[in-house]
Structure 1
Amino acid sequence: MSAGLLLVGASGLAREVLAAGITGVVGILDDDAALHGTEIGGVPVVGGIDDAAARDEQLLVCVGRGAARRAVVQRLRDQDVTAERYARYVARSARVGDTSSIGPGSILLDGVVVTADAAIGAHAVVMPNCTITHDDVLEDYATLAAGVALGGGVRVGEAAYLGMNAAVRQGVGIGAGATIGMGAAVLDDVPAGDTWAGVPARPLRSHR
């Protein structure tokens, strides 16, 4: 496998990753043909997403919302792109405890703190200055916006999204595909697909 790295998605997240100081990026893949041949953060856009299957670099999917990342990974899986192709990125200023784990394709940006025995799944995105404490679980494709704080033993379901500066009490579960609003204080379990906001957080609507 090539030592190079391709970012998948010419997005704001891709620019965040580049700004955080990632090394070895040789190109960006995006389906917007108007971007092909241009540069994002000094890195060339070298083709569309499906071109990943014919290349051998490692990949990092930089698409903002978890459901969209999941769709890209499934699309590439259908072209026989395996989990081994995906890199992990942990910014130099992030701190991850020795007993915590990070799955393939996941991104942890500047100032993130992960303490003891936390498990971060595949293709999760943790934006700057988040705190993930003991025994927390982030399932695949979960997204924490900047400044999110999780108490101990929190479980964040697949493709759930937590908005900026949200806080989740210890032991609470956030269901798959749920959305938590900015600055919310989550004190109770959030069902899959629900949108909660406020202090304390309350349901706004359900997508189930």
Structure 2
Amino acid sequence: MTPRPLLFVGAGGLARETLAAVRLLPETWKPLGALDDSTALHGTLIDGVPVLGGLATLADHPEAAVVMCIANARRPLSRLALARRLDLPDERWATIIHPAAVTSGATVGAGTVLLAGVVITTPLSVGKHVVAMPHVLITHDDEVSDGVTFAGRASLGGSVHVGESAYLGQGSSVREGCKIGAGAVVGMGAVVLQDVPAGETWAGVPARPLRGESA
């Protein structure tokens, strides 16, 4: 099988981690380059892959698959919003699953990235453009909406619903049956024992809403 050319949108740390996973899948993907609107990065290399230019150059590579490599707790809506603005058909979006991830027959949406050590324990549905960083745990009957970001070692109990573009910080845990609202941010190491409303930032043990503070 001929590997498909692959473009990374974003040239930061997540792009480097995704690239490392892609290089373990040489029969599927051939890294072509990264696109980033920061002109200071144009012409540079990220782990040997060139930054080809800004997003406007995407049209120059109609044959390439594309993966979004943008994740920011301060702007949790940004990845999905940009993906929708690019308005590519699902077949253009690359779904990257690290060989050391366990998916247990889950349905994984277009453009989603699952890095090393991610474990999904039962067949369930993971949305489009989700990012699960290393050692994330997703368990039975969980619902993961489009654009969700799981930082490393975030974990969900059973029957948790995570709304669109929510961000779960590194090492956070969510009790079974809880709902994380769309665009909500759960801080590093937080323990969520109740529903988190859409757009709010919660942190601490147990997690509580923050007012004008960083998670």
Return the TM-score normalized by structure 2: 0.89
Per the alignment, residue 15 of structure 2 pairs with 14
Counterpart amino acid of residue 81 in structure 2: A
2:4 alignment partner, SS class: coil
Per the alignment, residue 31 of structure 2 pairs with 25
Work out the number of aligned pairs and report it: 201
Per the alignment, residue 72 of structure 1 pairs with 82
CA offset digits 1:167-199 (Å, max 9, x no partner)? 101111000010111111111111101111111
**CA–CA separation in structure 2 for the residues paired with 1:153 and 1:92:** 26
The answer to which of 122-131 and 34-43 deviates more is 34-43
CA offset digits 1:78-131 (Å, max 9, x no partner)? xxx222210100111111011x11100010111000111321101010010010
1:167 aligns with 2:168: no
1:16 to partner: Cα distance:
1.1
**CA–CA separation in structure 2 for the residues paired with 1:103 and 1:136:** 15
1:25 alignment partner, SS class: strand
1:82 to 89, 109, 114: 89
**CA–CA separation in structure 2 for the residues paired with 1:199 and 1:110:** 27
**CA–CA separation in structure 2 for the residues paired with 1:30 and 1:142:** 21
Per the alignment, residue 58 of structure 1 pairs with 65
Counterpart amino acid of residue 146 in structure 2: D
1:165 to partner: Cα distance:
0.6
**CA–CA separation in structure 2 for the residues paired with 1:93 and 1:74:** 29
Per the alignment, residue 92 of structure 1 pairs with 99
Query: Any unmatched runs of 5+ in structure 2?
Result: none
Alignment of 1:96-175 (within 5 A): 96-98=103-105, 100-175=106-181
2:48 to 21, 38, 42: 42
Evaluate the alpha carbon distance shift between residue 205 and residue 83 of structure 1 in structure 2; reply closer, same or farther with a 3 A threshold.
Answer: farther
1:204 to partner: Cα distance:
1.3
1:84 alignment partner, SS class: helix
**CA–CA separation in structure 1 for the residues paired with 2:61 and 2:32:** 12
1:132 to partner: Cα distance:
0.4
Q: Is the 8 A contact 2:7 2:33 kept in 1?
A: yes
What's the Cα RMSD here?
1.5
Evaluate the alpha carbon distance shift between residue 25 and residue 124 of structure 1 in structure 2; reply closer, same or farther with a 3 A threshold.
Answer: same
Counterpart amino acid of residue 12 in structure 2: S
**CA–CA separation in structure 2 for the residues paired with 1:178 and 1:204:** 11
Percentage of pairs with the same residue: 50
**CA–CA separation in structure 2 for the residues paired with 1:19 and 1:174:** 30
1:190 to 177, 196, 199: 196
Per the alignment, residue 177 of structure 1 pairs with 183
Give runs of ≥4 in structure 1 deviating > 2 Å. Answer: 19-23
1:138 to partner: Cα distance:
1.1
Query: Any unmatched runs of 5+ in structure 1?
Result: none
